[in-house]
Structure 1
Amino acid sequence: MTPGRLDGVSHPVTLVARDPDLARQCAEQVLSGDCDAATRSAALRMLAAASRESGQDAAAERLLRQSAAVAARVGDGERAAHARASRLGLLALRGSGGMAAESLARLSAAAASARAVLLTHQGVAAAQRGRFGAAVAGFDSALAALDRETDRHLLPGVLSNRGLALMYEGRSEESAADLADALRHADEHGQSCLRGVTLQNLGCLAVRRGDIAHAVSCFAAAEHLVPPQRRPGVRLDHADALLAAGMHREAERLLGGLAVHAGSGRDSAEAATAGLLHAKMRLARGDAQGARDLARRLRRAFAADSLWTELARLVEWSARHSAFPPPRSTGSRSARSGSVAGAGRRAAECAAIAAPIGADAAAAGARARPAVSASEVPRPRQGGEHVGEPTPPAPAAPVDADWSATPETTTALAHCVHAAPLGPLSAVLPSAHEAAALRALAAGDHGSARDRLLSRPEHTTPARHLELMAHARARRREMAAAGARLALRAGDAAAALEWAEFASLSTVPSGPCHDREWSALLDRCRRAHVRAHGGDPAARQELSAIADRLSAAQWHPECMAAEDVGGPEHPVAATLAERLGERALVRYLRVHGRDAAITLAGGRMRVHPLPPPGDTEDAVAKLAYAARARVFAEEGGRFRRDGVAAAAAAVERLLVGPVREAVGDRSLVVVPPPSAQALPWGLLPSMRGREISVVPSGRSWLACRERGEGRAERGAGARVLLAAGAAPAGAAAEVDALRAALPRARVLCGPRVCVDDVLGGLEEADIAHLAAHGSASWQAPMLAGVLLEDGPLFAYDVERLARAPRVTVLSSCWVGGSVPAASGAPLGMAASLLAVGGGAVVAGVLPVSDRGITPAMLAFHTALHAGATPAGAVAEHLADAGFICYGAG
């Protein structure tokens, strides 16, 4: 091969950025033959770049030493400078801290072409030390030194580095522009590998903006473009994005075989990042001591001034000042509720830790992985030099950050950091407008703080799946939790309510999902469920595997292309006070492991402290157990005394007693605490006969009420759907009894009633009644469903509806109970029907008596047909059987 052939298709940078394996082959072919010293030096640099792409950092360093030595022997200072700069950049990325950066600063380059490379490496080294302002300046200088004609192949790499540095400077708009330009230039030059790396960068920017849906789609696309050696790095970023959304189980599955323990001899950045992520996973599971120990071992493995040391110290600090008990499962066997709560950490401690390193650093994330980071840009320069090592993805101690670590702001930051200790700390890093909001919070100006946050549009990709929406807006939830905590401390009920509503899911899915692969996976799950229900052990294993895939499979491109919906959100308290009328709102809050309730009744708002969450969870669990036992006893013909009354009285004392005086005997709109997502409210002594509407938030109740008023078809004008599954036996009898009372209803009953038939009927109905076996899952709440002939109609299926009935009745066991996501948003069948536009859902949280429910259902529909509200009809006829009215009853 001639030296000219070494230049690749158009330029060596294109060759490595397009296909590192091909670059390796070209370099090895040149080195196997006779060539001059300049060509040999260039080939060695190209081989080093390809070696880095395969994760062989030690080999890459050795090759770069050889390249510099060969060039120096023949007096080629330019190529020697290239090789030395690349080697020092590699050392900086492997955790050598500022030593490599200082050496880079001492380098000088005689040729202008080498100057651009050198400046790029200096920018990367500055970013590695957390000095992102200096990094941006370095990349600016590199861009100025580039010859746009001869060095155009270097441009996308420099832009990609600069884009990520700008992101950590808080200049997200400029970051997005640079990364978009980098992507465009990479496409122009066919640099598919570089395109994948830039998409990875864009995913990191999306995480920074709180747009987890777009982030995951970027990481999924990047994984198909980067070489196999880089894919673990993409998955690390992907896992960190899932952690940011509170999807700990999914993140842990994705981490898979990437576990690493300090002292294992692996000093790669991938190993360091995996270790830090596993430390945070331990913290999420409640193992604060284990998280602290792992972070400490990782910290000791790197130089004192390394970014890795700083990141490990921050995770160690989070573990030291957090004590999270493991989640506790309560409630029914399939629809249990639990929570992960944290004990309070003192603001002074947080300020003392945050102040020395700056508030940005205190909130920095542990997702950096310099060796294969989101900003690494594989681009050889003249003869194959590998330029543009990665900008680390999290700050250490930015000396020129636009956040001032005053006592007031660090105190506010302490509340904010505490609000989301389980996700990556990078999610808490405040941007400029968030910093201003925190300052307003520290001054007690809650209204101004919310205005600051709303003054900047959210860069959130709309999703078509409730589960994704429940995990979105992680940064908003963190800020809202900080605001709610400060408001509750000050006894400001109005501000606490606004912050609680600010964090709530307030939009609906942006349309039904039509992705074929997603539908096929859901149908496969349905078929496996049928076989598993028939006793097929292989199907049970398949069902478990598919269930694990379903959550992650929702991040498909088809659902990422929708236009954004929804507008600015305005204060909700005044609207609620006006629309509640004679009702009372009770909004239960869990902030930093402590429960409180806010009541709004008669225009007056109050804060009510509640007993410890553990007491409530135990009492709710005992009531659920006793109520289930009563149903089973009656079904079996056994009549015995049970503990329902005593258990209900205990829950009443803990949850209702503190607010009883404020709400009186009014009808209630209840936003339950996590532990009461499956609570049979109608069994509580003071709730018997009372209209109760259970909702995810006050905004949700307003939206459901508006839908109900807009579609107020009642009596003979309402389109009614009656559907029954093949089992239990009482389902068909129940529908037959209702058909006699509602002769104009459309009836789907018999052995051939399938999921698609019922979904079609739901879209056309104003009132729907489904009677069938029900199921629910704590681990996968969106797999709650009702069993039809071809399998369950899942909560996931409900998201395929373009329209939901005004009132839906689910006469099935369990399906009314929701499971709260990490954000607190409820997930399950009832939650899905409300999310896609339903006005009210009547569903049970207990087993349903097949023999005794038909008369109660007939009485309910008779009352509803006569003009009763759904909540009123439930209170009168169904509450004692464990049914609840969700939405605007």
Structure 2
Amino acid sequence: MPGADDLLDRARLAASSGSYPRATRYLEQACAASQDPYVLARAEITRAYIEAETGDPAAALKRCLEVLDSDDLDPVTEGKAWQQLGLIRMRTGENEAAMEALAQAIAVLPPGSDDLGYALINRGNVHLQHGRPRQAAADFAAASAELDKPGLELDRAKAEHNLGYSQLLLGDLIGAMTQIAEAAEVLSPSSAINRATVEQDRAEILTAAGRPREAARALQQAATAYGSRRLRTFQAECELTLAWTLLRDDPAKARVVARRAARRFRGQASPARELRADTVALVAEIAAGGKSRSLLERADRLVAALHAHGLVRDAVVLELQGARVSVVRRELDDARDRLSAVRVDMNTPVTTRLLWREVRAELAHARGDARHARDHVRAGLADLHTWQASFGSLDLQSTLVGHGRDLARQGLRLALEHGDPAMVFEWSERARTLVGRVTPVRPPTDEQVASDLTELRVLQTAGPAPRTPEARRMEALRDRVRQHRWYAEGAGEVTEPADVDQLQSALKEDDAVLVAHLVVNDRVSALVCAPDRSAVVNLGRLDGLRDRLDGLTSDLTMAAAHRDGPLAVPLRAALRARLAVVAEQLVAPLVDLLGDSRLVLTPSGGLAGTPWSLLPGLVGRPLTIPPSATRWLELRGAPQPGRVGLVAGPDVARGPEEVTRAAFAWRDATVLGGPDATTTRVAELAETVDVLHLAGHGRHTGENPLFSAVELVDGPWFGYDIDELRRTPSTVVLSACELGRVSVRSGEEAIGMSAAWLHAGARTVLSSPVLIADDIACDAMSRWHTLLAAGTAPADALAQVSAEADDVVPMLSFGAGW
């Protein structure tokens, strides 16, 4: 039978993994094996831990104090008791008392002691409760060093995980993701509780990364896992995080979840955590429109209680929300006083700094000081962009912009109220194209990503049924690919928006006009910038227009699928009518300003998917859609293409004919088809050509747009595969249905396969936002290649093809079309 010391160690490991009944059995066996006061004291300390974790902190506290009252405790046992007492004090929200107890533990425990590592972990957690992530990170790093011994891998992983969480609070999202992912390899297999803890903190990363829906799903699963084991404190912590996650998109639900968490904390005698849950509930009430005087009074009482418990981060958020309520109530002096009491610096989380800028801009606007309101919005967006530019992942960049959504809308609203076209142009560039202002950077080739994409290709081609092991494996691979790509570092550079003079000079050289469609407060406006004049035009409401655009997508799909037969004529008549109605709102009011010029379009994400080249007034007009006007200025000036690669994917009736006819336009073009059109061969081709033409079936994936793909003979070639290329073609043609489609994220960023190619370095991408019939693609794109080979710019060639066609050609030019 194991000795008492061995049984105590087993009990501690079982307790730390959440296996409390098993830990209790080991403790009973240890006490039965030895009546040594040392053994009994250690058993009592572990029992106190179990009581605290399972909802009886008062009994746990009493047990620890009784141990500390014992005579002749050796330093290690005394240190264990102090560090356990500190943990319990932390759990009950007595942070100052917790810090004192943990300081005693750290002073008593000898260097190299395992318990010194545990005490440092606990003190780091108290620092986190106080909103001191830098001090917490230092303690977790020291704990990791103390626990770097054989047999303590699980405990060290906990320290490393917590270090990652500290980095998250410090704004180092990449460091946090990397640290937590590495620790998860040890923690997740060890127990359901540790796995749930990892998922909970990963969910916070997802929230910070602008993916609240995914975060909410992960948190609900983690809360269920805790609840099934009756770990009410852990469950309440998870619900607290979930409430913060739900706050932006569903404040009513956030309030319900927060109040449920508060009740659980109250039942666990955890007043500090109860206060944090009450904070989320009150913020949710404000977000839902609450503005009463009694609400402000409740907020003030709660802020005082938060500060009394050292919960500074939560207090600052609530103070800012209180100032916002005062602005809404037109109590502007009170709002000013509230804001002046808030202390925000670079150690404050980015999201809180953005909220601070939002409220200060709201107050300045309410005072009639539009200039200072714009200054606050500009500074807030600059802060966001600095953070955003540290990431190389397009996926991560595009989701992060959700944090700046409200600021961006404030800036546009202020500019439109002012009415000056130059100012509207500045804010169109600053606010709408939040990703477009971040300098793209090519991530390094990642062997793990490449391997995972290959496996995913095989599984997706097999088409496993939902909820099978193969389907779960596919989901795990997608998560790993995305997270690995998130780790790519950015260039750290943000492009300042071009000014109107610079833009107008380029427009004059190119005989072009810029139109920036803007959506603010469900109304559509258009900034028209010509070489010699600019204007802002009101285009009416968005709501009815959005319905008409959705109907237009359906009409185009039906028309492409029924080019012959009895439905062809009525479908085309309905399509022409719908195009005319949409053009009446979006184009007709602008025609006099456009003349016969080329068109540079930077539409709002709210208009994503519009088939611009088919709208009356724009048919046959060269147009291109760059990420931003500033980016267009950087990309314009199409070089004459040299090397050309053409690919026909499987099961496209006229795909081989399309690429063969296109190849005739060029002196020396490489054509891949049939068994040669593999992902490996196509990637090799893409790295060596200036023009890449992909004719195949495509699929747009709405939730994860970078998993959109063109089908090749050995499976899908994903958007993520583009990042694995060592060199990118200048011009890419996606002659594949759906690959011009986009998903619009919370910051109104449109992302899809076209955006992925542009981010990777392509200058021009041709694709269709809707289904395109095989014969239309075959005829139109072979003619386009003839014009391109003769020296015509990509967008000019596409306009000529569209004007000559007997049927609609829904292809669009993205990026710089000339």
Tell me the TM-score range normalised by the shorter chain.
0.7 to 0.9
Q: Distance in 1 between matches of 2:532 and 2:271?
A: 56
- Residue by residue, what CA displacement relative to the aligned partner does 1:163-203 show, whole Å, maximum 9, x if unpaired? 66767877766665555445444437985444333333333
Q: 467, 479, 482: which is aligned to 2:395?
A: 467
Q: Distance in 2 between matches of 1:413 and 1:5?
A: 61
Q: 348, 352, 363: which is aligned to 1:429?
A: 352
Q: Distance in 1 between matches of 2:523 and 2:292?
A: 20
- In structure 1, the partner of 2:342 is none
Which amino acid in structure 2 is aligned with residue 40 of structure 1? L
Which amino acid in structure 2 is aligned with residue 868 of structure 1? T
| CA separation of 1:258 and 1:16: change in aligned 2, threshold 3 A | closer
SS in 1 for 2:621: coil
| CA separation of 1:682 and 1:361: change in aligned 2, threshold 3 A | farther
Q: 562, 567, 570: which is aligned to 2:493?
A: 567
Q: Distance in 2 between matches of 1:320 and 1:849?
A: 51
Q: Distance in 1 between matches of 2:427 and 2:99?
A: 52
Q: 298, 316, 320: which is aligned to 2:261?
A: 298
Identical counterparts, % of pairs: 27
> Is 2:192 aligned against 1:239?
no
Give the alignment's Cα RMSD to 1 decimal: 5.0
- Given that 1:159 and 1:181 are in contact with CA atoms closer than 8 Å, whether structure 2 keeps it comes out as yes
Q: Distance in 1 between matches of 2:83 and 2:63?
A: 13
Please list, as runs of the form range in 1=range in 2, the aligned pairs for 1:208-223 lying within 5 A after superposition.
208-223=169-184
| CA separation of 1:32 and 1:158: change in aligned 2, threshold 3 A | closer
Which amino acid in structure 1 is aligned with residue 256 of structure 2? D
| CA separation of 1:167 and 1:471: change in aligned 2, threshold 3 A | farther
- Given that 2:696 and 2:711 are in contact with CA atoms closer than 8 Å, whether structure 1 keeps it comes out as yes
- In structure 1, the partner of 2:300 is 356
- Given that 2:323 and 2:338 are in contact with CA atoms closer than 8 Å, whether structure 1 keeps it comes out as no
| CA separation of 1:154 and 1:576: change in aligned 2, threshold 3 A | farther
SS in 2 for 1:787: strand
- Given that 2:236 and 2:261 are in contact with CA atoms closer than 8 Å, whether structure 1 keeps it comes out as yes
Q: 777, 784, 800: which is aligned to 2:724?
A: 800
Deviation at 1:639, TM superposition (A): 3.5
Q: 543, 546, 549: which is aligned to 1:617?
A: 546
| CA separation of 1:29 and 1:426: change in aligned 2, threshold 3 A | farther
| CA separation of 1:251 and 1:776: change in aligned 2, threshold 3 A | same
- In structure 1, the partner of 2:62 is 65
Deviation at 1:430, TM superposition (A): 2.3
> Is 2:595 aligned against 1:630?
no
Deviation at 1:156, TM superposition (A): 5.2
Deviation at 1:549, TM superposition (A): 3.4
Residue range with higher mean Cα deviation, 166-175 or 741-750? 166-175
- Given that 1:156 and 1:183 are in contact with CA atoms closer than 8 Å, whether structure 2 keeps it comes out as yes
Q: Distance in 2 between matches of 1:246 and 1:262?
A: 25
| CA separation of 1:465 and 1:496: change in aligned 2, threshold 3 A | closer
- In structure 2, the partner of 1:833 is 757
| CA separation of 1:73 and 1:175: change in aligned 2, threshold 3 A | closer
Which amino acid in structure 2 is aligned with residue 44 of structure 1? E
Deviation at 1:841, TM superposition (A): 0.6
- Residue by residue, what CA displacement relative to the aligned partner does 1:537-577 show, whole Å, maximum 9, x if unpaired? 649967854554354212555863x5542424424335545
| CA separation of 1:403 and 1:793: change in aligned 2, threshold 3 A | closer
TM-score when normalising by structure 2? 0.79
- In structure 2, the partner of 1:41 is 41
- Residue by residue, what CA displacement relative to the aligned partner does 1:317-368 show, whole Å, maximum 9, x if unpaired? 4544557xxxxxxxxxxxxxxxxxxxxx599999958972799999x9xxxx
| CA separation of 1:81 and 1:607: change in aligned 2, threshold 3 A | farther
- Given that 1:279 and 1:292 are in contact with CA atoms closer than 8 Å, whether structure 2 keeps it comes out as yes
Which amino acid in structure 1 is aligned with residue 219 of structure 2? L
Please list, as runs of the form range in 1=range in 2, the aligned pairs for 1:592-741 lying within 5 A after superposition.
596-602=525-531, 608=537, 611-636=540-565, 639-641=568-570, 642-656=573-587, 663=594, 665-705=596-636, 712-714=639-641, 718-741=642-665
- In structure 1, the partner of 2:88 is 90
- Given that 2:110 and 2:116 are in contact with CA atoms closer than 8 Å, whether structure 1 keeps it comes out as no
Q: Distance in 1 between matches of 2:785 and 2:65?
A: 85
> Is 2:739 aligned against 1:815?
yes
> Is 2:100 aligned against 1:119?
yes
Q: Distance in 2 between matches of 1:430 and 1:357?
A: 23
| CA separation of 1:818 and 1:4: change in aligned 2, threshold 3 A | closer
Residue range with higher mean Cα deviation, 462-471 or 784-793? 462-471
Which amino acid in structure 2 is aligned with residue 239 of structure 1? A
Aligned length: 775
- In structure 2, the partner of 1:503 is 434
Bigger relative contact order, structure 1 or 2, given CA contacts below 8 A and separation 6+? 1
| CA separation of 1:437 and 1:30: change in aligned 2, threshold 3 A | same
Residue ranges of structure 2 left out of the alignment (5+ in a row): 340-347, 365-370
Q: Distance in 2 between matches of 1:5 and 1:628?
A: 70
> Is 2:135 aligned against 1:199?
no
Q: Distance in 2 between matches of 1:461 and 1:161?
A: 34
Deviation at 1:308, TM superposition (A): 3.7
- In structure 2, the partner of 1:886 is 814
Q: Distance in 1 between matches of 2:338 and 2:781?
A: 52
- Residue by residue, what CA displacement relative to the aligned partner does 1:375-417 show, whole Å, maximum 9, x if unpaired? xxxxxxxxxxxxxxxx9998443699999969679979999xx
Q: Distance in 2 between matches of 1:870 and 1:233?
A: 52
- In structure 2, the partner of 1:271 is 235
- Given that 1:65 and 1:83 are in contact with CA atoms closer than 8 Å, whether structure 2 keeps it comes out as no
Q: Distance in 1 between matches of 2:319 and 2:156?
A: 29
| CA separation of 1:349 and 1:878: change in aligned 2, threshold 3 A | farther
Which amino acid in structure 1 is aligned with residue 480 of structure 2? A
SS in 1 for 2:676: coil
Deviation at 1:209, TM superposition (A): 4.6
Deviation at 1:305, TM superposition (A): 8.9
| CA separation of 1:489 and 1:200: change in aligned 2, threshold 3 A | farther
Which amino acid in structure 2 is aligned with residue 855 of structure 1? D
Report the structure, 1 or 2, having the larger helix content. 2
Deviation at 1:680, TM superposition (A): 1.1
Q: Distance in 2 between matches of 1:195 and 1:169?
A: 23
Deviation at 1:793, TM superposition (A): 1.9
- Given that 2:443 and 2:489 are in contact with CA atoms closer than 8 Å, whether structure 1 keeps it comes out as no
| CA separation of 1:88 and 1:185: change in aligned 2, threshold 3 A | closer
Which amino acid in structure 1 is aligned with residue 551 of structure 2? K
| CA separation of 1:258 and 1:604: change in aligned 2, threshold 3 A | farther
- Residue by residue, what CA displacement relative to the aligned partner does 1:632-688 show, whole Å, maximum 9, x if unpaired? 221557541331122112222343356556655543222333343222111111211
Deviation at 1:801, TM superposition (A): 1.5
| CA separation of 1:399 and 1:476: change in aligned 2, threshold 3 A | closer
- Residue by residue, what CA displacement relative to the aligned partner does 1:562-600 show, whole Å, maximum 9, x if unpaired? 554242442433554554444333334455766554444
> Is 2:682 aligned against 1:758?
yes
SS in 2 for 1:696: coil
> Is 2:257 aligned against 1:257?
no
Q: 159, 173, 187: which is aligned to 2:148?
A: 187
Which amino acid in structure 2 is aligned with residue 468 of structure 1? L
Which amino acid in structure 1 is aligned with residue 558 of structure 2? A
| CA separation of 1:2 and 1:797: change in aligned 2, threshold 3 A | closer
Deviation at 1:824, TM superposition (A): 3.0
- Given that 2:83 and 2:101 are in contact with CA atoms closer than 8 Å, whether structure 1 keeps it comes out as no
Residue range with higher mean Cα deviation, 210-219 or 796-805? 210-219
Please list, as runs of the form range in 1=range in 2, the aligned pairs for 1:312-391 lying within 5 A after superposition.
312-321=277-286, 352=296, 356=300
> Is 2:495 aligned against 1:526?
no
